[in-house]
Structure 1
């Protein structure tokens, strides 16, 4: 590639990320967000100045420019950067079906071989991957996801990097059990319709003194409330360090603040395409836990760790772009929502009861989704209505690029690859089938009785995990989105979890029933 030698001489991947964010000052949802995209954009601006700043500010142009940095060149860039930055080891990441991060560490000298041949592992030892008779599985690092980890979050304080992997079978075919491949399929289906899905999550979590193993509730690190500045936090610099670590890895943060409950935090990530954002969410969880450890506390993404306080959600803002234009925006509509946006919302609402078991995949998830709380309990939508399942934000109504929908049901302990897959798949189904959207809910749904909600025609979301699993079992759409293997294994795994929960005798039961 012409100019490639000069490209490899430039300082580091962080230089490119910073330049990209400075040059692309508008930061529209069409701006590329991953490190290699930023590298490609800056390469073109640097070596083709006549194209001018912003030459790569749309998804179509990014896809074209990525051809300049083919797979081999991406690999060469990674290998060169590792040598220049004195990277001591590289973490290769992927997830199991429930979203637990898996990692294999390779020395820099072995990375070229990993690019060529992948890293073999026993798929039968990973939750949901393969039977013992079909256990040979290969993790193939994706060089476009290469990022250097902040030295501060590594226990060894040695410089390390990470890449996400695509999991394949020995013959090179994508693994049917890889959650990343599940999301890739939905992203491709959207692309086949001319859409690019952009996602921006608001991620909530708790800081606690420690992760107790004795079954008693954890102790939050502060007594703060919503947007509080002074909280007597045991880790007063936590959010500052967390934001710096994320930015250093090229994961842009919009803002952070204290949430409503003691110890509860929220950090919002700037939009990215769906697959990049799922990778970012997994990286986010890793970094947050590491930064918390360094601050002498612990972080938990458990949906509902405290009975008396709000739970933790990952409010997911989504939009579809078509030819560089926000396909959700219509300036002539009453709510400035296009027909595409209305059909997308209708798809989410119609299929939400079926996919709840994926976006809310734990028994504990349904302690958050209860009547009287702000978390949604009915399949409704509304303008700026935080009690609805789908909220249409009213900030910057006239700004086309800002038109989006916020899906408020997923919790922070979901598998982002699978959660984003079912959300996107349900929305695309609404578009393809031309679903009609009902009028928006104007009521505070959380304050309505069950009888009132049903009289108004609101469809209930599942209120318990077993109810959610039964609805998922009957869903052809969720089965199609996840694929047969993931669908069946997920249900088998989660039914086992439910039966284990049912067999438990809780302190509440003993306290209220023992004297009978």
Structure 2
């Protein structure tokens, strides 16, 4: 069904989900039927930002065979020099998705190639390699990612909540804040559902103008694709109404940050949850496999943080002690607990929720790193220790240290140092990739460290 304009000016999307089992010819017919003129061949850079080349639909066959060519040096983190071979994206039909907010476009992801070989530091390829390791064990990784974002508008050179009445001191779950953003939320949810992304929950979060949209879990590669699609849709639909949708981890010191919690479980070949075990003596429904996987996450937590919280700004969210926002859902304590939101890992019965990451993460790279750490725990049968079912925020750092609970890195530089010293990620994800990531992020830290902030001016200009 073609997207049609309603009286309100919005598109009525209808049933636009891409049919299963498309071939080249049937896909072309599907695109014609839906009024698509261009297909975007897409990949993400090392930051997780979507990059595209528009290809007229009658060249769809070329995208499925040779692929679309890019000068790799034009994107962050591909490690390709200007004099080296072209980076090609050979698209996959099962990733074909319409763009209901721009009905003349569709998009596809695919395999990143250089000289006909899979490019080792294409982050989507990196995740696929980790999933292949898992498949050889007869297992599949399911993930559910929970992206938080803030809807803003620019006013007199400042960024303020898009809804000017969204001013409550404790805004979480506020009906009015949710209802008055319907101009943005409704078309966004319609867009996601139109392409087969099953949204099951929307809420107003703690900060003014902050929201979270949850969609049903999926196989890990598909979830990462969906997160990328979601962020593109959110940005463009916001732009159309004069708003800015930001996934910046901590836009304001006095407001809660934008996290991206990751729910995960392994599934065996029979479709059973391999993390689940009702006989768990701790009552959390976890299997021995799950505990070993958890042990790997905790053992590699400092280095893992660099890949899940990858910006300078991320560490304004991951703070020890009192947070200027008054509330934090960003635990920095390397521990786990039964439904404990103050620990790094929460255990909703029979699965794990990793709470460190934020909405700036590259979902492919973050998932691959998480899987590498977990499998190391499985291979070495690491023991995560006993759960901590306590409120860490009620304890002093001295009390926490006496419990032998470590604290996550408190700035990007510390996290990069941890990643540099933990050989697991270079060994499993690829030395080229980790070197590229470290180089780019060290430059980011250096630039930040040399900048002069307004805080410094306010503090020191007249003081000395």
TM-score by length of 1: 0.81
Write out per-residue CA displacement over residues 310-367 of structure 1, whole angstroms, 9 at most, x where no aligned residue.
1011111000000211001111113211001111111111111111111011000000
State the partner residue of 1:508: 455
State the partner residue of 2:121: 177
**CA separation in 2, counterparts of 1:478 and 1:427?**
12
State the partner residue of 1:365: 314
Aligned-pair distance for 1:139? 1.3
Output aligned runs, 1:427-446, within 5 Å. 427-446=374-393
Is the contact made by 1:120 and 1:137 (CA closer than 8 Å) also made in structure 2? yes
Is the contact made by 1:310 and 1:368 (CA closer than 8 Å) also made in structure 2? yes
**CA separation in 2, counterparts of 1:340 and 1:179?**
26
1:163 to 105, 108, 114: 108
State the partner residue of 1:145: 95
Is the contact made by 2:152 and 2:159 (CA closer than 8 Å) also made in structure 1? no
State the partner residue of 1:124: 73
Matched, 1:333 2:280: yes
State the partner residue of 1:469: 416
**CA separation in 2, counterparts of 1:252 and 1:161?**
19
Is the contact made by 2:67 and 2:91 (CA closer than 8 Å) also made in structure 1? yes
Change (3 A) 1:362 1:347: same
**CA separation in 1, counterparts of 2:167 and 2:384?**
42
1:85 to 26, 30, 34: 34
What is the total number of aligned residue pairs between the two structures? 437
State the partner residue of 2:266: 320
Matched, 1:109 2:63: no
Aligned-pair distance for 1:231? 2.4
State the partner residue of 1:384: 339
Task: Report which of the two has the higher share of helix.
Answer: 1
**CA separation in 2, counterparts of 1:310 and 1:82?**
42
4+ residue runs over 4 A deviation: 13-17, 216-220
Write out per-residue CA displacement over residues 256-300 of structure 1, whole angstroms, 9 at most, x where no aligned residue.
110011000001110110100100000000011112122331100
Aligned-pair distance for 1:211? 9.4
Output aligned runs, 1:14-413, within 5 Å. 17=17, 35=18, 39=20, 69=21, 74-129=23-78, 130-150=80-100, 153-154=101-102, 158-170=103-115, 172-210=116-154, 218-219=160-161, 221=163, 222-224=166-168, 225-231=171-177, 235-323=181-269, 324-334=271-281, 335-371=284-320, 372=322, 373-394=328-349, 403-413=350-360
Is the contact made by 2:97 and 2:106 (CA closer than 8 Å) also made in structure 1? yes
List alignment gaps of at least 5 residues for structure 2: 1-12, 323-327
Task: Identify which range, 159-168 or 318-327, moves more after superposition.
Answer: 159-168
SS of 1:441's equivalent? coil
SS of 1:427's equivalent? helix
**CA separation in 1, counterparts of 2:287 and 2:432?**
36
Aligned-pair distance for 1:113? 2.0
**CA separation in 1, counterparts of 2:427 and 2:29?**
41
**CA separation in 1, counterparts of 2:267 and 2:98?**
30
Is the contact made by 1:147 and 1:162 (CA closer than 8 Å) also made in structure 2? yes
Change (3 A) 1:388 1:220: farther
Change (3 A) 1:15 1:266: closer
Aligned-pair distance for 1:90? 1.0
Write out per-residue CA displacement over residues 179-207 of structure 1, whole angstroms, 9 at most, x where no aligned residue.
10010011111111111000111110000
**CA separation in 1, counterparts of 2:57 and 2:159?**
43
Matched, 1:456 2:411: no
Is the contact made by 1:381 and 1:388 (CA closer than 8 Å) also made in structure 2? yes
Aligned-pair distance for 1:15? 5.4
**CA separation in 1, counterparts of 2:140 and 2:442?**
34
Task: Report which of the two has the higher share of strand.
Answer: 2
List alignment gaps of at least 5 residues for structure 1: 1-12, 18-34, 40-68, 395-402
Is the contact made by 2:41 and 2:68 (CA closer than 8 Å) also made in structure 1? no
